[in-house]
Structure 1
Amino acid sequence: MRTPPATPLPSWTVGDLTVHRVDEVALPPATGPWLLPDATPEVVTGRNWLRPDFADRAGVLRLDSHSFAFTVDGVRVLVDTGIGNGKERANPAWHDLRTDFLERLTAGGFPPDSVDLVILTHLHADHVGWNTRKADGAWVPTFPRARYLTSRTEREFWAGYAMDEARRQMFRDSVIPVERAGLLDVVDVPAEGAEIVPGLRLVPTPGHTPGHVAVRLTSRGGTALITGDCVHHPVQLAHPAIGACVDIDPRRSEATRHELLGALAGTDTLLLGTHFAPPTAGRVITDGNAYRLLPVPAV
């Protein structure tokens, strides 16, 4: 049987690199008011540039769950693994999903057994779900040839955290099986970041969680930054003080956004939002005393 041709994924070019978006699911409208409670309809409708892509006319935020896949220095990489299928979750929008994420990933040219490196920006349920899949009644690593990578600060924080049952369940089905398989590596990420392979650097962006990292890509003068959850939605460019209800350290999270956005504003760096609805990516420009996103659509 002939292998079917790959189905193109939405993608962006960064120098010689191609960054692909692997869609999982559009999050329900109730996600915005829960996640970013200070992003009220009045705040959102006050920024016309957010509509129609990132919010509707009533000021309801649009948010997605997706991953990014690319090849850098010969290493096939997946950044964050979404919510996952068949997971027991307290959030009804994440509970027992049945999406075609793996089929999309495979059709886009990244079958699970071809992935070399899985980067976890942090250990939250909607970023680690496809770490594992169920086989013969047990949760097993989805990417058996890959090294899974997160920051040492992140893993050590959760190891000492008094988890509720929902978070313990997430670790049981999506983190611990990877550790038991010997596939999870932790890395020290100093202030200047940590180069994992040439062209790929982890950048510390703490606050949402203590060990949260963003992912910086560089190639032939092109630069991109994958946000993870240091920025959940473009409304936070206009209002960096707006934080997420699940930020571990809200003040530090806000400080991280101010620092990051200030460094990106006016540069050619492509910002790729892990929860940004399409067009998902753009460049940060100054807008009054804050910022806005100048979208760069995928091809």
Structure 2
Amino acid sequence: MHQFTPPPHTVVHGSGPTWAVGELLVHRVDETELPPPTGAWLLPEATPDAVGDARWLRPDFATPDGALRLASHSFAVEANGLRVLVDTGIGNGRTRANPAFDHLDTPYLQRLTAAGFAPESVDLVILTHLHTDHVGWNTLDRNGSWVPTFPNARYLVARTEWDYWAGVEMDEPRRQLFRDSVHPVRDAGLLDLVDVPDTGSEVAPGIRLRPTPGHTPGQVAVELHSGARSAVITGDCIHHPVQLHRPGITSCVDIDPAQAIHSRRELVASLADTETLLLGSHFPPPTAGLVTTEAGTYRLRPVPGVSS
């Protein structure tokens, strides 16, 4: 195998891991590691045997016995004078059915501020989809009411995603999610719905939404471009690097598993053996890398971010 040399994506900047994508800077803002049982629940087909087939997953992405490592974080992007946040994690102090998400207490906002993204400075919040672990810090509990965390930002959601959830019968946990983390943003007049055609939709200079439906009908990946450099933030089109090795592995919460597989295969194939950096929305450290072909499938060649 040839010697792999990562391209010059990484720089020293801020208090957390940062990647340079041309003139854009991408910071990973950590919320929490997810408990060890999460992987087996979320991706039940990712058995120890399936993980064992890809030795490159260990030790960063899987334990020695084949359990998946997963995390919750946001990506904060400095883009042409804008401060853009991609997904907002689980959030603190929320009643959630999943014990891993219930009544968290993390220093997420302090970490976000340390990265240079004080809440009032954020210009744009992109929500890849409207699941619990991607919208939580949309709001804060202030004197018993949920109010927008980022009062000067526009919050973007694909119209297909919004229309889907508006048209289905939700159970009580999901209604609670919308009451505390989604509807307060709409009610404050900060929510924008974006039409995302098959060709994608540019929402800011250098930032484009790419439709990757299946996990949810309006799930999007976020493409970043600057000069000759590019990157893609996965959202939940790809939960874990094992899905590069076996793209047919689906999530137990995929709404349309067949469509999710199709979207994942298309995305991964488009990135393979290119210089486009892949940033996983739930990938544990090192979180980012280049997709390469290997033995008839794909793997991730890590490109760690650099912390100051």
Q: SS at 1:229's partner residue?
A: helix
Paired with 1:137 and 1:162, the residues of 2 have a C-alpha distance of 27
Please point out which of 50, 54, 68 is paired with 2:61: 54
Equivalent pairs, count: 294
**1:80 is matched with which residue?**
87
Q: Which runs of 5+ in 1 are unaligned?
A: 1-5
Cα offsets for 1:133-189 (capped at 9, x unmatched):
100110000000000001000000000011111100000000000000000100000
Percent of counterpart pairs with the same letter?
Answer: 65
Consecutive unaligned residues in structure 2, runs of 5 or more: 1-12
Tell me how large the CA RMSD over aligned residues is: 0.8
CA distance in 2: counterparts of 1:74 and 1:272, whole angstroms: 21
The residue number in structure 2 matching 1:155 is: 162
Question: CA shift at 1:73, angstroms?
Answer: 2.1
Q: How many angstroms does 1:7 deviate by?
A: 5.0
Match of 2:9 in 1: none
2:39 is the counterpart of 1:32 = yes
Paired position in structure 1 for 2:113: 106
One-letter identity of the residue aligned with 1:248 = I
Q: 1:196 — aligned with what?
A: 203
Q: Are 1:9 and 2:9 matched, yes or no?
A: no
CA distance in 2 between partners of 1:65 and 1:252 (Å): 24
1:109-120 alignment runs, 5 A limit: 109-120=116-127
Q: How far apart, CA to CA, are the structure 1 residues paired with 2:234 and 2:168?
A: 24
Residue number among 128, 137, 141 corresponding to 1:134 in the alignment: 141
- For residues 197 and 49 of structure 2, what CA distance do their matches in structure 1 show? 39
Measure, in 1, the Cα distance between the counterparts of 2:269 and 2:233. Answer: 16
Deviation at 1:71, TM superposition (A): 1.6
Runs in 1 of length 4+ with deviation above 4 angstroms?
A: none
1:212 to 214, 219, 223: 219
In the alignment, does 2:246 pair up with 1:239? yes
3-state SS in 2 of match to 1:91: coil
Q: Does the 8 Å contact 2:24/2:80 carry over to 1?
A: no
Match of 1:3 in 2: none
The offset of 1:17, in angstroms, is 1.0
Does structure 1 conserve the Cα–Cα contact (< 8 Å) formed by 2:60 and 2:286?
yes
Q: Any idea what SS the aligned residue of 1:207 has?
A: coil
SS at match of 2:146: strand
Matched letter for residue 269 of structure 2? G
- Alignment correspondent of 2:181: 174
TM-score, scaled to structure 2: 0.94
Higher normalized contact order (CA 8 Å, seq sep 6+, divided by chain length): 2
- The Cα offsets for residues 246-288 of structure 1, whole Å up to 9 and x where unpaired, read as 0000000000111111111010000000000000000000112
